[in-house]
Amino acid sequence: DTGVSQDPRHKITKRGQNVTFRCDPISEHNRLYWYRQTLGQGPEFLTYFQNEAQLEKSRLLSDRFSAERPKGSFSTLEIQRTEQGDSAMYLCASSYPARGHETQYFGPGTRLLVL
Amino acid sequence: KNEVEQSPQNLTAQEGEFITINCSYSVGISALHWLQQHPGGGIVSLFMLSSGKKKHGRLIATINIQEKHSSLHITASHPRDSAVYICAASNTGKLIFGQGTTLQVKP
């Protein structure tokens, strides 16, 4: 296993621009989660997929946010018309609960700064 | 009120001290997780508990399901234990996180 990877690691953008982040989970992990963490706070749940199906979305995920996992492998998170309040660390995690446990393995995160 | 509450928010200890971080939750859970986050963001899972107690090296995690309370203990603390420790409740798969406890262990 090479672990969960995320790309890019850092992104600086201007307000109003669109950004897209990618997450590659551990191979064979069928669940993939997106979380957001602002400075000094614990992460907050955004959405998760089981295979290619998006099973739950947080109310935090406004219409400007969209996530996909088209082939049940990697996932993308897009933010349209970014706002300064979107500045945060975006974390991805994967798990394989069918093996009888729910340990989630986290990627290094993508740190977004909206100017 | 947050669904998962941790205390203390900040903790400073001298090397060798016994450390306890507490977590209370108000939601139904399938498991309670303890995670460690180092500067730069990387999060590592330490424990996943649904009952009783687990031990790994100098770390011990306990949970009381009736009281909806969990504790993380670090014995013989070391400066390399300095990090943010986060408890999280898992509920339908997703994690509901506490706000984290920032631990600094001084030599």
pLDDT of residue A94 exceeding 90: yes
pLDDT of residue A7 exceeding 80: yes
User: What would the DSSP string read from start to end of A15-72?
Assistant: TT--EEEEEE--TT--EEEEEEE-TTS--EEEEEEETTEEEEE-TT--TTEEEE-TTS
pLDDT of residue A99 exceeding 60: no
Q: How many residues does chain A have?
A: 115
> Best interface-test mutation with A: which of B95, B97, B101 has the largest number of A CBs within 10 A?
B95
The pLDDT tens digits for B48-71 are 998 999 999 999 999 999 999 999
Q: Which 3 state secondary structure label does DSSP give B79?
A: helix
CA dihedral of residues A48, B65, B26, B33 (deg, nearest 10):
-40
Confidence (pLDDT) at B21: 98
The pLDDT tens digits for A35-62 are 999 988 999 999 999 999 999 999 888 8
What mean pLDDT value characterizes chain A?
92
Locate A57 and state its tokens: 């979305």
Handedness of CA B62, B68, B69, B70 (dihedral sign): positive
| Sequence-separated contacts (24+) of A41-49 with Cβ below 8 Å | A41/B99, A41/B100, A42/B4, A42/B86, A42/B88, A42/B97, A42/B98, A42/B99, A42/B100, A43/A91, A43/B43, A43/B86, A43/B95, A43/B97, A44/B97, A45/B94, A45/B95, A45/B96, A46/A77, A46/A90, A48/B93, A48/B94, A49/A75
Any A CB within 8 A of B42 CB: yes
Decide if B30 and A103 are in contact by the 8 Å CB cutoff.
no
Spell out which residues of chain B touch residue A48, defining contact as CB-CB under 8 Å: 93-94
pLDDT of residue B1 exceeding 70: no
Any A CB within 8 A of B88 CB: yes
Q: How far is B93 from chain A (nearest CA, A)?
A: 7
pLDDT bin (cut points 50, 70, 90) of residue A101 is low
